[in-house]
């Protein structure tokens, strides 16, 4: 797996806001859901949950509203403000759907040559002012 993501970025949203937000397909309810990472199973595979349903999912470049069973997305914003999906992620670097390898951070600085990863917010509704993609109800 290489360098795994630090576990402090996993788990339900907290006031500190340093948990990675994911979007995944809930096979039980056949719908997309916002959630967070429970466990990293590989550089492209994660156990994710919304606090009710837990799924093992692979990173996908599908549109976040067109996910299928076993798929999930992690969104990032580059310094130019473009939103991309991650296809692979390690502790410090991610590969974007464009094939570019770039460092990731939670910082919204536009001059740091890194992408800003979408964070889960500060409560289990998974909403905050800097959402990159629309939230699901």
> Is the distance from CB of 6 to CB of 91 less than 8 angstroms?
yes
Question: Per-residue confidence at 137, pLDDT binned at 50, 70, 90?
Answer: very low
Q: Mapping DSSP to helix (H, G, I), strand (E, B) and coil, where does residue 57 land?
A: strand
Tell me the pLDDT of the chain averaged across its residues: 86
Length of the chain: 137
Q: What percent of the chain has pLDDT over 70?
A: 86
**This prediction's pTM:** 0.87
> Is the distance from CB of 57 to CB of 46 less than 8 angstroms?
yes
pLDDT digits (tens, 9 = 90+) for 71-106: 999 999 998 989 999 999 999 999 999 999 999 998
State the pLDDT at residue 13.
87
Tally DSSP H helices, then E strands, for the chain: 0, 10
- Residue 80 is encoded by which pair of tokens? 């130019």
Please give the angle made by the CA atoms of 120, 121 and 123, to the nearest 5 degrees. 105
| 125 against 17, higher pLDDT | 17
Torsion of CA 110, 116, 122, 126, to 10 degrees: 120
Q: How far apart are CA 55 and CA 23, in angstroms?
A: 11
pLDDT reading at 132 higher than 80: no
- Residue 13 is encoded by which pair of tokens? 């949203």
State the pLDDT at residue 41.
95
What integer is the mean pLDDT of 37-55? 94
Q: How far apart are CA 129 and CA 107, in angstroms?
A: 14
Beta bridge partners of 73: 23
Question: Per-residue confidence at 134, pLDDT binned at 50, 70, 90?
Answer: low
- Residue 54 is encoded by which pair of tokens? 């837990």
């Amino acid at each position: 797996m290489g360098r795994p993501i630090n576990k402090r970025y996993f788990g339900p949203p907290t006031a500190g806001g340093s948990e990675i937000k994911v979007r995944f397909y809930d096979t039980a309810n056949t719908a997309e859901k916002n959630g967070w990472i429970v466990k990293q199973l590989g550089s492209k595979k994660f156990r994710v949950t919304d606090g009710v349903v837990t799924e093992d999912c692979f990173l996908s470049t599908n549109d976040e509203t067109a996910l299928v069973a076993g798929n999930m997305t992690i969104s990032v914003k580059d310094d130019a403000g473009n939103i991309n999906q991650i296809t692979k992620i390690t502790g410090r670097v991610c590969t974007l759907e464009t094939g570019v390898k770039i460092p990731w951070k939670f910082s919204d600085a536009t001059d740091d040559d890194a992408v800003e990863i979408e964070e889960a917010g500060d409560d289990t509704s998974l909403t905050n002012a800097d959402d990159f993609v629309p939230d699901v109800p």
